[in-house]
Structure 1
Amino acid sequence: MNNQIDVIVIEDNELLRDSLKEAINKSSDINCKHTFSSGEAALDFIAKEELVPDIILLDIGLPGMNGIELIPELRKLSPSSKIIIITVHDDDENVFNAICAGASGYLLKDLSSEKILASIIEVMNGGAPMNMHIAKKVLNMFRDQNVKSNGYDLSEREKEILSLLIEGLSKKQIAEKIFLSHHTVDSHLRNIYAKLEVHSRSSAIGKAIREKLI
């Protein structure tokens, strides 16, 4: 039980909130003890109980503080937690803002519970799950703008790996796709993080999108 993935859900729709909790708790690998109907309630509880969940499933359209506004506050209280957006909103602005704020994944609510559970495990394994057309939106954000390296001196290989990170591929998937060893991919990632002055995958992706680095 100690190695289970600990998840909290922040969702104002009671039916969906309860169904997510039920689906999660049917898994032997994941558990959900706490759910919240608002961001403010979640922040208060996390601060009071010093809660450090592995994963936070977060809706965007919350009453009061919305999900995008909530991400940096959650990261302050629990910086090691991975945040997965789960929402009906698939417009460019919300996708862009969520990833820039530090979300590790972006899912739409029409996904099956099995795919949501698989996405939770994917994030814990270093992935960045997104619906396919969300990933395409993210890449199009780069193509539709004048892209530049902004003085970070990223090599072509590093740009390629950063682009694959944005697509949501895990380190293992990147290694297989571009025919490199896991060790070599790790080395490239360390160089990317050092050059961008970040310490995590989500921060690297957010910075790449904000500053149009690909």
Structure 2
Amino acid sequence: MSIPLIKVTLFEDKKDTRESIQAILNCSPGFTCSGAFANCNNLVKRLTESDLDVVLMDIQMPGISGIEAVAIIRQQYSDVPVLMQTVFEEESKIFAAICAGANGYLLKSTVPSKYIDAIREVAEGGSPMSPVIAAKVLKMFKHQNVQVDSITDYNLSSREQEILGLLVDGLSYKLIAGKLFINYETVHSHVKNIYKKLHVSCVNEAVSKAIRNKLV
């Protein structure tokens, strides 16, 4: 029985790094690099022509930055998960990437096996982050002076609240399905309803709103 491939399109300006990541992907069972580009020029055209499941995006790209590229991807391909990678730990860039719609954030120092695990997780609906990045994100939420939305009753069902809580904990759709003893499609359906009720379009927005409004 063949393993379903997770097809990854890579945007990385440094040639050696790009070729190294390509090799890691193509040598890992269940993964393939469906495209590798040195910049984000003609981004929409490249994504349209690529057969992809996940975008792996360097935050520091020439011309159109990785953060700008994420925002474009969110406008054109709202369901495509984007995993950011960087050598930086700057809080402003992390926050900007998350606000733009990134689904996860990895340091380039991450070992290859963890890279592959993170790509698999984001493909399954999770929001992987390197531990040092996750710590910074939690710190930002803790110290960010944000107002609670005026509307606090979103009419979430008990099951939707339960799933939202697991999303806040960083679980992927697959892990949520296993934990709640329901199938993947049911989780996906509940998440779509959560997005609609919270007026958000991605996991990061849902998690941010849940934390701000103490929904879980």
- Partners in 2 of 1:6 and 1:21 — Cα distance? 11
2:200 maps to 198
Q: Is residue 90 from structure 1 mapped to residue 92 from structure 2 by the alignment? A: no
1:165 maps to 167
Q: CA deviation at 1:83?
A: 0.5
- Structure 2 residues without counterparts, runs of 5 or longer: none
Q: Deviations over 1:96-155 (max 9, x none)?
A: 111111111100000011111111111122211001121122222221134554123267
- Opposite residue 153 of structure 2, the aligned amino acid is D
Q: Is residue 31 from structure 1 mapped to residue 32 from structure 2 by the alignment? A: yes
- Opposite residue 47 of structure 2, the aligned amino acid is I
Cα 1:191/1:43, change in 2 over 3 Å: closer
- Opposite residue 198 of structure 1, the aligned amino acid is V
Q: Deviations over 1:72-112 (max 9, x none)?
A: 21233433321000111222111111111111110000001
**1:46-195 counterparts in 2 under 5 A?**
46-47=47-48, 49=49, 51-150=50-149, 151-153=151-153, 162=164, 165-171=167-173, 173=175, 181-183=180-182, 186=187, 189=191, 192-195=194-197
Count of residue pairs brought into register by the alignment: 206
TM-score of the superposed pair, with normalisation by structure 1: 0.80
Q: Deviations over 1:4-62 (max 9, x none)?
A: 11111100011000000000000120100310000115444234x3x341111000111
- Partners in 1 of 2:69 and 2:97 — Cα distance? 10
- Partners in 1 of 2:193 and 2:38 — Cα distance? 40
Q: CA deviation at 1:70?
A: 0.7
**1:12 aligns to what SS in structure 2?**
coil
**1:40 aligns to what SS in structure 2?**
coil
- Partners in 2 of 1:69 and 1:91 — Cα distance? 16
- Structure 1 residues without counterparts, runs of 5 or longer: none
Q: CA deviation at 1:192?
A: 3.4
TM-score of the superposed pair, with normalisation by structure 2: 0.79
Percent of aligned pairs with the same amino acid: 37
- Opposite residue 152 of structure 2, the aligned amino acid is Y
